[in-house]
Chains A and B, each alone.
Chain A
Amino acid sequence: MLESDFQKKNRFFLNMGPQHPSTHGVLLIVLEMSGEYVLDPQPVLGFVHRMHEKMAESRPCVGFMPNTARMDYVCALPYNHGYVSLIERKAGIEVPERAEYIRVITSELNRVASHLLWLGAYLLDLGAFTPILYGFDDREHILDILEDITGSRLTYCYYRFGGVSRDIDDKFVASTRAFIKRLRERFVIYEKLVTKNIIFIKRTENIGVVSPDMALRYGMTGPNLRGSGIAYDVRKNEPYSVYPEFDFEIPVGSQGDCLDRYMVRIREMEQSLRIIEQALDRLPEGPVRAKVPKNIKLSPGDCNFAVEAARGELSYYLVGDGTSTPYRLKVRVPSYSNLSCLPELGRGILLPDLVSILGSFDLVIPEMDR
């Protein structure tokens, strides 16, 4: 980093956010700048702090379900999944197999929708306006499919303790298969439009390199970690639901730069489509909801459950006290740990590179603030 005498004497502070088109939510980053170089980025959170953990302590455990979707609204079904599985583990509820398959299919569809939105938003930050239109177009198809059975477009509250709330029908299966076929053809368009684009490669290669040791010290998970070469995915490492029955790979990158994180997410979408296809082929018959008591009493003691959300490992930690209201519920969100490495990673980089790094981390700020 070359710093002239003038720049050394005239260092200044720049506020990036909280209202900014590229921060993906209300995030303020206070940048100490010297010319065009960032010396010390310090994120400031708390602009969307909505007291989720406090709300969990003042209502029965079933009343927290709407909150789970509002924490990460882009990929809400894995959040639902983690919470209902936590209560099922605590109370010892068995889930019918058909419900588990439906949960896996809808969660993976939601993961694809989340990655499509990320793709569009990331490229919009880098200056390309076309991919977001394509991404949102594909995403609207997924939203139509999910709206037929869940009833909402964005903040789903579809899972229940012991299963799901409604069964899927033939229309869902047919439209999902048609969508998978369509998306595979669209991937060719994305490949030609984005992946082989020289401007995109120049803006993402060797930018924001995260080493495996840095990832371990900060607790990073998800595609950000897999871009650095560590093949850690909760679906393989700590399998839950019916994931052990499916055959899928974990894509990893090699260097840990923005281009690797991008490639990991693109390949993850393809693996999600594989999982959905296998699940649709093997879908068993049966009930979709187990009989559970109206007031589930949480026995005293603590319990933990981890799922793989689109952004990384999401764990719920619950302390029960014998009533149906949780005594303490802690939500460990992936974006929180992913962003905390920014003060170390962003030292001495150019400002446009900071925008590229933030976009490649795939952050959703309300889940960080809870």
Chain B
Amino acid sequence: MAKKTSVQKAFLSGNEALARGAWEAGLTVACAYPGTPSTEILESLALYPELDVQWSVNEKAAYEVAYSAAVGGVRSLFACKHVGLNVAMDPLMTSSYTGVNAGFVAVVCDDPGMHSSQNEQDTRWAGIYAKLPILEPASPAEAKQFVAEAFAISEKYDTPVILRMTTRVSHSKEDVLLGQRRPAEKRPLKPDIQKYVMVPAFARQRHALVEQRQLKLQKLSERSRLNKMELNDLSVGFIAGGVSYYYLKEARPNASFLKLGFLYPFCDAKIKAFAGKVKKLVVVEELDPFIEDHIRQLGIKKAVFRHPSFRLGELGPGVIEDVIAGRPKKAVKLPPARPPRLCAGCPHWATFSVLKKLGLFVAGDIGCYTLGTLPPTSALHTCLCMGAGVTFNEGLRRAHPDGKIVGVIGDSTFIHAGITGLINAAYNKAKGIIFILDNSTTAMTGGQNHPGTGLTIRGQPTKTLDLKALCLACGADNVDVMDPAGNVGQLEELVRRRLSEDALTVIIAKHPCKLIKR
């Protein structure tokens, strides 16, 4: 975690450097829900006592609170992992229309290679979809620099700005120059209903402004120093963004480069000019063919692209020669890596041993307990997205009303996206058991607080959410709270009994995570 020291340099991760850069740029409010590889951004910001930072209940709440603070007149930041943005897409899409007052930056960390994620979606498409500018740093030092740039663009062009990171940029470290905080002036809040009330009549006007803004941003992209042309050996030129640029630079230090840091809207004229200067043009990127598709649209005939097999996973120095040559990805035979597993002494072992013994079909969710799918427990059968442990149970039971089906979800995940599913189940007369595996933390991402822990991001006491009362209020017929650790027999008896009833039951299996430091 970033330590504040008097030295002029620090060895910071991309996430820490980004946090530092936002702080220096006069940030006031920051909100997020934890998610690898984005978590350390808020954890680092929380170390600055003058900032107003929070773990929000989910990404939608985080986006809305941070964004509206910017509308209120202070520089604000939202951070999430790629799939977290799905949860915040609703406010994101229309905030493109309503714009900002003070600067607002949405940091989204993609996870090429799925080091700790359920899919490999590519956030760059969100720029096209939401008509928002995207900046993409390639290293921690750039993350720090780009976030300041993003705030300035946000204010000048009246737009949220997406800062796209990847695991390799977020979690790699670099020596970074430190600067002073430059407090940003608080802007007044004045009613402006045509800007901030998106009823159809006003939204039509705003949409027109968004299209005009796109054209202005494209011009900015053309002259932005973040889109940097490096002309060296002109026999080959690379167009790349993000960390791919550095893999290429390592492999071909003398080649020519167009490094796209202001990724979207594209700098078409600069791209064409670069293409005109080099003999061979090679486009390199991770995940989807985002730059590739655009260069094809521009009709640049000499451009060559990666083999499509590289749309999967991360790039790296080991594969970069194959990428440059357009060769397909080789199957690399390595001794298998050691997979993660539930920790020794983890309370989830007890619960999963019962689920396995009873031969239940278990609708799962996202968290440490997803590891219950691995041997020896092998007792978790679905994992789709945050909250689906609750709703998947209902859907499966609609297909198999008498099936031996249950749902499991963690405490933090339940608060994030499970509550609505439970209300839905109760309202629509679904039955069965939902387990809330309550280890009293957000364990998978390193143990962050949430409303159930009664502590804030800084560990200060706050209101504690009463899960039992909440589940009863949602309409559960029974809410049983028990400690599964050392009580496997009792838990098994309870599950058998509840499954035999025509009822919707929540079993809160409560035992703190072994890794929490209290």
Asked if A and B bind, the verdict is no
Measured CB to CB, the residues of A under 8 A from B are none
Measured CB to CB, the residues of B under 8 A from A are none
